[in-house]
Homo-oligomer: A and B are copies of this chain.
């Protein structure tokens, strides 16, 4: 199913990519990895959304154990260690606080914007000014949508979409350009408010996760140097490793803020977001989400007194289907299994269609910001027409007996029974779903004891609309989450199943909605435990746990037969070199030395400045092995690995000498760990910043103090599968390949993330069939294509 080709789009993309590529080369920006170049030529699935993918850099999660690091680490006294730990907790507290605040602000703004829009529309409706009502409704939507799209397209294209795939990739070690920049944060917050208020079928959950991650990244960087907001006392956190931890906490806090589900946030971070996990992190994430939950609770308590405009009970989604469950029989379980299977199919179909639609959209989006805005406007108008148009098809139904006066038709904004054009005492069931915020529509569907509220035709119509609108909305240039569209479509699907099987099953229609939402979430996102906990926290009823679990298990299993989870799919489509936890089976047939294609550039322990500058200028490598040779060592021996960023700092410091001598302790007096601390993405030293004259080029510099003397290594005969596992588990950026026998150079190559990507390997070994585990007898080695053309683009990451 997911193997279909769409060559027309990808050809267009390739041309685009090549242009981007050459532009990069002209600007001498080739330092960054032009990964996509190789990729998209082979993979028809590759597409670009937005303009944020050309500069992808790997992150240094491994500790570079060089002398500078060791000296700094040794010199830390107990006070500093305490300072570090305390600071980390304070940062985490701040992340939780800030994310909770943003989550509250987001909800406050959305509830008020969307609320006033809907109230004004219904006010006009009651005066029977139907055309004016439509103009107000559609006009508000259009303005909000255009504004969101405009800031998104012009200020921070990286803010479009969910953001979860990018955060996931970051936590895997891939830093896409400006994905966590302050401008992205700003646009994400404002754009998300605009997008949700504009009545699109999209959610604020994905953007909240991205927002949380941005806040964490910002706090972890010691502020933004660009906006003169640096906090120098945060220098301990100027490394990718600590930043990763903070961003994991931020992502968890985002989920906690979006759903008011602190435990769900922790589990989401664990199951979906993070690639590496430690017990200490569980603990810290838990703290962050707890803080977020407390902040939200405090604000909601404050708002309960009516001080927050239209923000009230309906604010943060907290559905209530409690006490709807009394017990279930075998018949009910069979119905639930059927629901799970069909839900899984719909879910995977959703992924498949979204993939196709995003490919089509990328062609439009890449033409420029104005096209992005036009596309958004078109979708906005379509959504408005659906929301306002379809209720006219609805019949006016008399209010059910036994309700209070205010309940039907609904006074105020939210509620199950919208009057629309109906006479008093009647309600329009289509309007109750369509002319509402997504949160309120879901609440209506989840509500218990409302079996007969909606006509079957209404449910089918709404399902079709939401399913399709959700698909065509995600790709527009607005921050847009996938949770709400999927939950909405799923809950209506669940209601349909519940209504169809009402003669057989005793379960409540609201409960069926919940199970339908679970089945769709399982089918698209493929998360299990976290979705389960989020749903439990949303509905506050643990007794339905077994049924929710069952549905999730079935729908995920069914959907896994067809394609990958939606976030994995988007990560792949964006061309982010994500390392899977499980290496592809065919990697077992290859050895580490087979894929090391680039020419190895290594330095001597004490190297001529000119050689270093030349290597930095002519290669895109970010890591270089350091090899000591006699007379400095007894034999040719591996000293370690030196990073480009460290070399640049060293060259900038100009501690050169005329002879090949070690600088020794003098070095550690001149340079401290903070000099080599990693700046935020795109803020490090560049080769152009150096100013080295010809005389200096002939001098020598001692690389030993900045050489990581403990690089991870594999023997050249190591199977690539196991090397990939090592690379992934230890969160590496460079993996040195050493020879299996003596009498050779002590390093034969470097493996980077790029070398494990299927596109790279299948280019070198076109005869490997990635979809087949059986690859013939042991002796038959796959033949390797020697493509010089390709090797020109190869980079050591």
Contacts and interface: CB of A to CB of B under 8 A. Distances in A.
Contact of A65 (B278, B553, B709, B719): B719
Interface in A299-346: 301, 327
Given A282-B529, A528-B286, A722-B65, A637 B774 contact: no
Contacts of A740: 637-639, 746
A515 to B, nearest CB: 14
**Which of A67, A270, A537, A710 is the most central at the interface, judged by chain B CB atoms within 10 Å of its CB?**
A710
Interface stretch (A69-77, A119-127, A173-181, A182-190): A69-77
A709 B773 CA distance: 20
B74 A774 contact: yes
A461 interface: no
Given A263-B532, A773-B74, A741 B730 contact: no
Contact of A549 (B290, B529, B715, B745): B290
Nearest to A633: B741
Interface string A274-309: 000111001100110010011001000100000000
Contacts of A581: 278-279
A629 to B, nearest CB: 10
A301 B329 CA distance: 11
Nearest to A628: B741
Nearest to A592: B710
Interface in A69-114: 70-71, 73-77, 81
Contacts of A270: 270, 282
Interface stretch (A538-546, A600-608, A642-650): A538-546
A599 interface: no
A22 interface: no
Interface string A688-724: 0000000000000000000001111111011101100
Given A290-B546, A549-B262, A744 B742 contact: yes
Interface string A518-541: 000000000011001100110010
**Which of A271, A279, A773 is the most central at the interface, judged by chain B CB atoms within 10 Å of its CB?**
A279
A725 B270 CA distance: 21
B741 A712 contact: no
Contacts of A775: 74
Contact of A75 (B77, B277, B774): B774
Interface string A738-778: 11111111100000000000000000000000000111001
A529 B775 CA distance: 45
Given A290-B546, A722-B65, A714 B713 contact: yes
A325 B551 CA distance: 31
A472 interface: no
Interface in A485-534: 528-529, 532-533
A395 interface: no
A65 to B, nearest CB: 5
A271 B282 contact: yes
**Which of A63, A726, A778 is the most central at the interface, judged by chain B CB atoms within 10 Å of its CB?**
A778
Nearest to A278: B581
A635 interface: yes
27 contacts: A70-B588, A73-B588, A74-B775, A76-B774, A77-B774, A263-B532, A277-B277, A279-B581, A282-B528, A286-B529, A286-B532, A286-B553, A287-B553, A290-B546, A293-B546, A294-B546, A540-B543, A636-B741, A637-B740, A637-B741, A638-B715, A639-B740, A710-B722, A715-B738, A740-B746, A742-B743, A742-B744
